[in-house]
Chains A and B, each alone.
Chain A
Amino acid sequence: MDYVFDFSFLESFRSEIISGVRLTILLTVVSILPGFALGTACAVGRLYGPRWLQTAVTIYIEAIRNTPLIIQVFWLFFGLAVLGARIGPFNAAVIALVINTGAYSAEIMRAGFQAIPKGQLEAANCLAMTRRQIFWSIQLPQAAELVYPALVSQFILMMLATSIMSQISVEELTGVGYQVQSITFRGFDVYLVIAVLYLALATMLRLCLHGAAQLAFTRLRKLRTPL
């Protein structure tokens, strides 16, 4: 076996690779918060909403969780184009990611809401807190703190899933890799580098999200114990 690696493309395609990394980060960062908000809203709707809302949310969650992201992306991108709504590939990618992550984080947050000890809610009732106060200052922070490790994993999976967005011509890291590969014919070398970059991105995202959790959850920061 005398395969000679050739990483000279790193020099000549530097700006393309950097812009690919940027786009991957941008897609991730833009989609995380709306996805989480949508997921939380769906979890609340499924747990406490009226009957019709519960059914609607369940259908949404099951439909998204049982079909591949790539089909959802194609459906949105090509489907909306036929309807005459040209939203552009980047927007289609972000919308698909938000809808997809929303369904997954809804299930995670639902588990979080259900895991809050009953005594917490009873205590809040005894303090004459309103329904709204109980939700914002008792339920939401505790639920989020209980499940944030699962949320972190989910967001990292979402970052990795952005890699198929090149299928609708959003040239993120994987798409850039394909371009470089088709010019240099060094597919193996190129994708090894891309893989390493994704590993680095995943590690960075994990660190950032855990850091954000430390900032967001005062109790966790001060006591350093699991809830």
Chain B
Amino acid sequence: MLGVSIDQYGFLVQGAFWTIVLSLMGFVGGTIVGLPVALARISRGWFLCRVSSAYVQFVQGIPLPVIMFVVYFGVSIYGFDVNALVAAAIAMTLYSSAYLGEIWKGCIQAVPKTQWEAGECLALTSVQRFIYVILPQALRIAVPPTVGFLVQIVKNTSYSVVIGFFDLTYSAKILNNATFKPFVIFTAAALIYFAICFPLSRYARRFELRLHRRNA
């Protein structure tokens, strides 16, 4: 097809599989680290607040490829055999935890203050208040931006090409070197990315509209 064989398209799909694997690892890792970051960002203790804020500022001020390199070379100095997948997953975790922490902080703060006060009036402890009153409401607000950020995660896994992780971008690059049909190959790669990302974007937007209608 267009000077590129079926096998070669299969190679792209193989790369796309690893893109999805890395995205999922980044999202799961980002959730595990990001939730404490969000909680620390809204905590009243100034130490937690400062440290988490500094963490977010740090990660957001450094480009993802550089984070990938730091992790990649950083893991190797500890004498571990560096697997590009492990390094890329750690880097994606760092990256997405900072952004998810910031997003979720906003979502928790978007729950009206009166909800906290009402919980206090019902003599709930602060943990109970958070789990039974605030969290369910914050979760609903958090769905659209989180799905929207998933798109960013999928797209940004493409930066793992700098440390030689075999993902969709890397496979497209290799294919291009082999066949020199850049238009066909990079269009195909772009279409695969689009097919993953566009439904997520649409879903995020629809969910947001529904949320607005309910609140209106």
Contacts and interface: CB of A to CB of B under 8 A. Distances in A.
B80 to A, nearest CB: 12
Given A79-B182, A188-B70, A191-B70, A71 B158 contact: yes
Given A75-B187, A79-B183, A188-B74, A62 B193 contact: no
Interface in B71-86: 72-74, 76-78
B164 to A, nearest CB: 12
A67 B73 contact: no
Interface string B26-64: 000000000000000000000000000000001011111
Given A71-B172, A78-B186, A191 B197 contact: no
For chain B, which range describes its interface: under 10, 10 to 19, 20 to 34, or 35 or more residues?
Answer: 35 or more
A80 B183 CA distance: 9
B197 A66 contact: yes
B66 A188 contact: no
Which of A3, A63, A70, A202 counts the most chain B CB atoms within 10 A? Answer: A70
A49 interface: no
B100 to A, nearest CB: 16
Contacts of A53: none
A195 B70 contact: yes
B159 A164 contact: yes
A111 B106 CA distance: 19
Interface residues of A, number: 40
Contacts, number: 122
Contact of A78 (B61, B161, B176): B176
Interface in B167-192: 169, 172-173, 176, 180-183, 186-187, 189-190
B73 A68 contact: no
Contacts of A202: 60-62
A65 B149 CA distance: 12
A-B complex: 10 closest residue pairs judged by Cβ atoms: A187-B73, A78-B182, A163-B63, A68-B158, A66-B197, A160-B63, A202-B61, A188-B73, A75-B186, A68-B155
Contacts of B67: 195
Interface in A186-205: 187-188, 190-192, 194-195, 198-199, 202-203
Contacts of A74: 169, 172-173, 176, 182, 186
